[in-house]
Structure formats: structure tokens, C-alpha cells
Amino acid sequence: MAEDIRAKLGRYKTAPFDSRFPNQNQTRNCWQNYLDFQRCQRAMAARGADVTPCQWYFRVYKSLCPTSWVTAWDEAREEGTFPGKI
């Protein structure tokens, strides 16, 4: 499984089409992939498993989200004021 994910990451160019977010505005897509990355990191760390599968979400949200948003969300997580459920 890890090899499949590594192969997909190697071919990765930008965020693929996601049928949950069919409209042009990709704000929710950005938000959801940021949350999915944080959840994945936490779940894999709790199991002591390899976090490589989480890199998919990381690359998607990095290509969709403005850097200022990500910085603000990271700061809010550190302060304990992040509004999302991780």
C-alpha cells in the first residue's frame, strides 16, 4: 500500500478533481484537506505507523490553500483556538 501511495505522490502535479467539491470555489476543498492531513498525522502517530499516506493531503492543501490561511490555522492550533475538529 505504501508503494502505491509513493507512486501516486511521484506523479502528483496539482490537486485532482474531487467530486465532493465540484464548483470553482475550492475554499472548502482546501479546508477539508487541511483537516484530513492533521487528522491523518494524529491517527498515524497514535498507532506508531508510517505517516507517508498523509503526504497526499499535505500536497493537495498546499496547492489549494493560500499560505496566509495555513499559517493562521497552524498558529490557532498551537494556541488551542483552532475551530476545526481534528
pLDDT at 19: 81
- List the chain pLDDT tens, one digit each, 86 residues: 556 766 766 666 677 777 888 888 889 999 999 999 999 999 999 999 998 889 989 999 999 999 999 999 999 999 999 998 88
Residues 6+ apart with CB under 8 A from 21: 28, 29, 32
Q: Length of the chain, please?
A: 86
pLDDT at 58: 94
The pTM assigned to this predicted structure is 0.80
Q: Hunting for cell 496539482 — which residue is that?
A: 14
Give the chain's domains with CATH numbers.
Answer: 26-85 (1.10.10.140)
Is residue 19 helix, strand or coil?
coil
pLDDT at 30: 94
Helix or strand run (H / E) with residue 10:
helix 2-11
